[in-house]
Structure 1
Amino acid sequence: MSDPTPFPMPRATGCPLDPPPELTRLSRDRPVTRVRLWDGSTPWLVTRYADARALLADPRVSVDVAQPGFPHTNAVSRARDARMKTLMQMDPPEHTAHRRMLIPGFTVRRMRELRPRVQRIVDDLIDGLLAGPDPADLVEAFALPVPSLVICELLGVPYADRGFFQDVARSLVMDRADPGQALAASESLNAYLEDLVVKRSADPGEDMLSGLAVQRYRTGAMSATEIATMGQLLLVAGHDTTASMIALGTFALLTHPAQLRVVREGDPAMIAGAVEELLRHLSITHTEARRVATEDIEIGGQVIRAGEGVIVAKSTANRDPEVFPDPDVLDVGRTGRSHIAFGHGVHQCLGQSLARMELEVVYGTLYRRIPSLALAVPPADLEFKEKAVFYGVGELPVTWSRTENRNHRAP
């Protein structure tokens, strides 16, 4: 048997929106196989939709990063995981209890209440974009600030502190070679959030940290550190993913003008469908879902032994031709939410309702307000974040007609 293929794999030149060709080939020829990671470990890679869903829903796989066979993404994630345990590293019943605490912040009702504020954030940032230099970097001017400001709103971060919050957020989601720098940023944010929990306990508002401070910190059920760790998880998990989807989704639409036209002219239902298709097509969590087996599991004709690591490739699962006709075609008219961009099973993304709502507001506003939006450089000049935890574009220079109506805001 040949040596395991190194993972992750490079994407093809000129095809930044598609999974790596070698990953696609493995999905076709060896759907459950070994791969080699940065540290020399050789976990299993599962690439097809049915196997991926089955494994993600299987209670015999664990997200416990402390287990020896867990397939860490890189040295930074391994170092951070050793210092901070969050919801993402918990199995039931501990996971169930912690997730239940956060669910009230992500209900349909809460998203409906938050949506007007998200709309104002998006409109204000578009106003700033139109008033600023042309061309502009859409990542820096728009894609990164949107989720950062929304999470500030959700958590209850004071306006005066939002600059600090955004700076730390950016440093946490960068692909750093030095784990010490990432840990220092993480500890700085946790100290800030701990102090905010104490303040919210004395003077609560309507935000998520206030609710946890009153219900958990005041009663002694949780420490300020534990609540702050929850807050940091929401920041890290929700910030770079949404920012990447805004920028990469915009690049995808700008390079597919017929699809962009449908989104620009679409009603809310069409916009919601476009969000689902872009989530499926892009699958930005390209380091994939990582688990470790706690018992022997047979899947795809292979036996994964207890203690062996597993990587579930959501990117190829979301391009499985047995589930998605013409899977490599971007078609915003597709219907349904059968993709697994947000995962599957008990660890399905808690914040998916927030992400969907943010993306619906962004995609439904940006191209309508700036219909002449266009790339300011050839696509071949862009640099994509192959080594980052979440796939995206480093910078997205865009331009537009200076005659755009700057006052065309949402009602």
Structure 2
Amino acid sequence: MLKKIMLVLLSIMLIVSTSACGTSSKGPSNSNASKSSNSSGATQKITLTFWNIFTNDPQKTIVKNIVDKWNQENPNVQIEQSITENDAYKTKIKTAIAANEAPDIIYAWGGGFSKPFVDAGKILPLDDYLNDGTKDKMLPGALNNITYNGKVYGLTFAQQASVLYVNKELFDKYNVKIPTTFSELIDAIKTFKSKGITPFALGEKDEWPGMWYYDMIALREAGAQLSRDALNGKASFEDQAFVDAAEKLQEMVNAGAFDQGVMGLTRDEATAEFNQGKAAMYFGGNFDAASFEVDSSLVKGKVEAVRFPTIEGGKGDPTEYIGGGSDVLLVNANTKYKDEAVKAAKYLAENMSLEFYKVGAALPTWKYDSVDQSKVDPLEIQIMNNIVANSKDSVLAWDLYLEGDQAQTHKDLVAQLFAKQITPQDYAKQMQEKINGK
């Protein structure tokens, strides 16, 4: 009898001991606290949070489908997304990062928007994760705008590209050569002006559309590296290349490139003017192309997308353009699941890049050989083939590259160049003083 009692007591002790071992690991109650399969060997599910701005279709549905597919293929690593409208998101993500409450995967923009997060140590550097063939899948320069102090801090999935849109019908009618050099551009401006045709449709009331002109001319004069050095405070805006760029911009103004009331026109009014066939050229971004291809546009099928002309004697490579990787995915430096978050960010970025391109929602930063080109908008294909493909480098529009008030300062000074309220030398001097503090 005593032996039976001892056996029962021993069994009870073993059960209690086993139960205690199974519950000894404590942690937060939310799913994001579950153990990672690659760090502990456990197979419990973890949840990666992903914040983005895709409130509208087609992007909203595309992203949902990509997330759903990931979740089906990765049952132990689930992505949970939270969507916020663009402007509200900018405030939300800045607040969350400052409070260490950011998600695992963060939608952001390259250049000046992400730099403060990187400087604060809030974003995971990705260099050690990119030598697995990831870089080979991306277009040249795709990571330039999310690289700080030589380290990569995000994955781009969409980009901007500066485009010179020309109305082929007007060029043919007046026997004008599509310009490939700045001298030819000035000749084209003068010819169209003499025929009563507005050479360039531009709405400078919004300031940033005119800023694209200066930034592009500066890229041709200075080249990508010198432009970035000046924007980073490592070179001076008083370098002759930036003064020359201001002079070239005012040369366009003096040649009659724009409407006399350009300072009072909005961007929407300018695109409408080009759509109505009243202007020979429009310089802007790839995001303008869609409005020229709608059924109501009088220039539908008549527009050609080409590179901005080269400048004789300029330091810039003729293939360089304003733009490059703009929309990015960052990984929170404080995530508990770094490996899983990076893997998921790669998956999201590559698939978003290709799927957005298919529907004309954005230009890709990942190689797009697998995309059926017959289903892509023809003007978008021109932009990729004529401007982006084989480009040596690119620089973000300066209002994206610069931070906060500096971006507005740049736009204001360029507007003063358009209005001929300051000289090129004044422009360069004020840029150096107000942006670089010297």
TM range (shorter): under 0.3
The structure with more radius of gyration: 2
Q: TM-score under structure 2 normalisation?
A: 0.25
Q: Which has the higher strand share?
A: 2
